[in-house]
Structure 1
Amino acid sequence: MNVAPPVDPWLLEKLVCPLTRTPLRWDAERQALVSDAAGLAFPVRDGVPVLLAREAVPL
């Protein structure tokens, strides 16, 4: 399942995890931005990444 992220690719290259400051990757299966370093998935709502720790889901 290779679905394009709802986030602009240019923006996706610049986004980092708010906890670890490591790059995020798009996970099409979860429909979320994933921080492998933190073990968290951040939701994307209406094309807007929600990079709040309290909104993240553990992997």
Structure 2
Amino acid sequence: MDYDVIIIGAGSMGMAAGFSGHGFKFSSAVGQVLSDLIISGKNEIDISRFSIKRFINES
């Protein structure tokens, strides 16, 4: 388990979750990432560390 947020963009839907009380300071950056994902399906920022796939145990 880690303390990073989860950011998902799929088709015309995006979601960001896991922010605690200090998460508001990331809102503009996360909003930009989500809007890029929703509009074009990609973005210029590597957000792989925020994927929900990191919780999948591949043992």
TM-score between the two structures when normalised by the length of structure 2: 0.26
Higher strand share: 1
Which of structures 1 and 2 has the bigger CA Rg? 2
Where relative contact order (Cα < 8 A, 6+ residues apart) is larger, the structure is: 2
